[in-house]
Amino acid sequence: MNVEEALKKLDLNMCYQCGTCTGTCPVARVESAFNPRRLIDEARLYGVDHVLNKEELWFCTECFMCMEKCPQKVKITEIILALWEEAVKRGIKIPQKFVGLAKAVASTGISTGAYGGKGTALSGMILKKREKLGLPIPKIKQEVAKDIVESTGVLEILEGKSKEGGE
Ligand code: SF4
Ligand code: SF4
């Protein structure tokens, strides 16, 4: 399936530009360059080539809040993931932070808190908050995570295509 077909399946054309996604997005609240409503609009109007090289495409944290709130049930987060996948396939340089994430998953089984490539585990503050909310610690066995990272070759792909210095 090519990226246009994938986007069609993800209800891209159901968007009626209400802006709820952008109003809900925690990233858009602090970074005006990032606007999921506009990304959807531009991908639809001008095609994926228009958005794939945008730096702000990578600002999404994949929190899924926009998808929860979208009145049209547009799969916004999955659309962004499909665009990321297409960017990687085309060899477009991606931010350094993803190398850190892959290394953290391989060494700890957790991706959160990996920015900077140190592979750090969840911070004490996050652990406390999760405990208070009765949430489990999302973690898979480190050996399993390492196997996945090694067998997919994701680290090599990311290292070969990531921006030097990153964000
Ligand atoms: S919330 Fe849904 S319908 Fe509204 S702009 Fe965003 S994607 Fe489009
Ligand atoms: S998934 Fe991405 S676009 Fe959607 S609310 Fe979260 S950060 Fe914003």
Ligand 1 atom with minimal separation from the 69 CA: 1
Q: What residue segments make up the domains of the chain, in order of their start?
A: 3-89, 97-161
Domain at 3-89, CATH homologous superfamily = Alpha-helical ferredoxin (1.10.1060.10)
Say how far apart CA 115 and CA 108 lie, in whole Å: 13
Q: Which residue owns the Cα nearest ligand 2 atom 5?
A: 25
Q: Which residue owns the Cα nearest ligand 2 atom 6?
A: 63
- pLDDT tens for the chain, 167 residues long, are 677 777 777 778 899 999 999 999 999 999 999 999 999 999 888 988 999 999 999 999 999 999 999 999 999 999 999 999 899 888 888 888 888 888 888 887 776 653 333 434 566 777 788 889 998 876 678 888 889 888 988 888 888 766 544 44
* 73 close to ligand 1 (CB < 6 Angstrom): no
Q: Which residue owns the Cα nearest ligand 2 atom 4?
A: 66
Sign of the C-alpha dihedral computed for residues 39, 14, 67 and 87 taken in this order: negative
| pLDDT value, residue 119 | 39
- From the CB of residue 111, how many other CB atoms can be counted at a distance below 10 Å? 19
* 74 close to ligand 1 (CB < 6 Angstrom): yes
